Amino acid sequence: MHKQRGEKLWYIPDGYIPELSSGNLTSHESICVVNTASEDALLKITIFFEDREPMEDIMVVVSARRTKHIRTSSLHIEGVPIPVGVPYAIEVLSDIPIIVQYSRLDSTQAENALMSVMAYPIKSER
């Protein structure tokens, strides 16, 4: 059995899907997860906005001993995606410990720009 590593609850306050792309690369964000354990991780993702109610409990599975780089543009609730060009924040809740990083590629202008942060972990009471 491989050990579970990380935490079950993570936050990324600065989410934003750029409206435009140019050049060879498409603007996008990724929520990058690694699951080191021998069992699958079931994630519930919640999206917070500035001016409306949260989108709650978008479900994603990350398989045992695998990584998953989740495009935020692929997330939706009953076919409704996260709106582009709108500031939001991300909560990632998992049933087992995982590790979460967030990266954004912005190609609004001709050349691309990159940013990345480790998500902020909430330590479980142990």
The span from the CA of 25 to the CA of 95, in Å, is: 34
In the list 27, 36, 72, 94, the residue contacting a copy of itself (rule: CB under 8 A) is 36
State yes or no: residue 66 binds a copy of itself (CB under 8 A). Answer: yes
Token code pair at residue 76? 């939706």
Q: Which is nearer to a copy of itself, 72 or 106 (CB)?
A: 106
The amino acid that residue 105 corresponds to is L
Please return the burial class of 73, using the count of CB atoms within 10 Å of its CB with bins 0-12, 13-18 and 19+.
middle
Give the residues lining the site for a copy of itself (CB under 8 A): 5-6, 9, 11-16, 20, 23-25, 30, 32-34, 36, 48-51, 53-54, 65-69, 87-89, 91, 99-101, 103-122
